[in-house]
Amino acid sequence: MTPRPSDVPPTIDAAALPDFVVMDVETSCSNVSSICQVGIVGFKDGVEIFEYETLVDPLDRFSSFNIGIHGITGDHVLGAPTFADIHAAVDGHLGGRITVAHSYFDKGALGAACCIHRRPAIETTWLDSVRVAKRAWPELSSHRLNVLTKFLGVRHKHHDALSDARAAGMVIVRAIEHTGIELAGWLAPVNARGGPAPKAAAVGPLKGERIAILGAPRDGALACFLASQGARVMASVGTTTTMLVVSGDQPFGRFFTSHADHRRAEELRRGGASIEIVLEDEIRHRLALPLAW
């Protein structure tokens, strides 16, 4: 039975407030606001302390592509609450807390749904478990949730909002255990430049490329990957740079067009320089390797 707003779990006892909550959503179509399922899980001291899940009538179409991913159809959400109906419950779980999501998609979907349904934005502090996983296990070629759960031995039903939320929460718990970095440390900004760049491999498909990275440190997982393929990782875009790679950590994969390195790369291109601007996913696809998440 789909929970109605009156069935929403009561406010959590103050003594059991979570250290962080995790949210995952499924959408009915390409409109990011078309939330059709919400899953939220709370964690305290590395242990799950509550869960909340509901199907949602997105008041939008269901595309065959999205149905093929999560299996939810229009028939499943008949009689289900709309996002406007559950907004207060979601705000009660997320508002004023640390909210984990696996990539920026869920953050964008929540914001878009609040806007479309004319509800106040939910004020919460977001933490991307993709970014956490990349720092904790840089040796992995993929940081997709289903790959991580297999690596970590966590039970998981992919593209079920509640299971995905629980799995992303366990990524945070295991990352804290694995690295010793507490939750506050994962929230702290990472030095954009980082330390010294890794040494380029003597051979590889990127041999001869001089690559600058936008949105990730030059001693991080992406830099190590590029160097392992023969590229020389640069501190910033210069006249000898041949490629600017935009990290997959950037929201929705969009370029940070206001960033100095991006502006410099565009200026060089207009001046006739041969410099590419590509997404991390694209460069990995060219090399026929798994995507980064």
pLDDT in tens, 232-249: 998 888 888 999 998 875
At 81, the pLDDT band (50, 70, 90 cuts) reads very high
Average pLDDT over residues 198-202: 87
Cβ-based neighbour number of residue 169 at 10 Å:
27
Write down the pLDDT at residue 191. 53
Residue 271: what residue type? G
Confidence check: pLDDT of 255 > 80: no
Write down the pLDDT at residue 289. 53
Average pLDDT over residues 248-273: 72
Q: What's the CA gap between 213 and 232, in Å, rounded?
A: 11
Average pLDDT over residues 194-220: 84
The order of strands in the sheet holding 276-279 is 232-233, 210-214, 243-246, 276-279
Nearest to 247 by CA among 207, 271, 273, 217: 217
Confidence check: pLDDT of 113 > 60: yes
Instruction: Share the mean pLDDT of the chain.
Output: 87
Cβ-based neighbour number of residue 280 at 10 Å:
24
Average pLDDT over residues 32-61: 97
Confidence check: pLDDT of 12 > 90: no
Average pLDDT over residues 141-152: 92
Write down the pLDDT at residue 279. 87
Average pLDDT over residues 214-231: 84
- Beta-bridge partner residues of 37: 26, 55
Specify the range with the lowest mean pLDDT, choosing from 3-7, 64-68, 112-116: 3-7
Would you state the CATH architecture of domain 5-187? 2-Layer Sandwich (3.30)
Average pLDDT over residues 277-293: 73
Write down the pLDDT at residue 9. 47
Burial class (CB in 10 A: 0-12, 13-18, 19+), 73: middle
Q: How far is CA 271 from CA 65, 175, 257, 274, in A?
A: 42, 45, 18, 9
CATH code for the domain defined by 210-286: 3.40.50
At 216, the pLDDT band (50, 70, 90 cuts) reads confident
Q: Do domains 5-187 and 210-286 have the same CATH topology?
A: no
Cβ-based neighbour number of residue 182 at 10 Å:
10
Domain limits, the chain: 5-187, 210-286
Who has greater pLDDT, 63 or 259? Answer: 63
Confidence check: pLDDT of 58 > 60: yes
Who has greater pLDDT, 254 or 202? Answer: 202
Write down the pLDDT at residue 45. 95
At 293, the pLDDT band (50, 70, 90 cuts) reads very low
Write down the pLDDT at residue 260. 79
At 196, the pLDDT band (50, 70, 90 cuts) reads confident
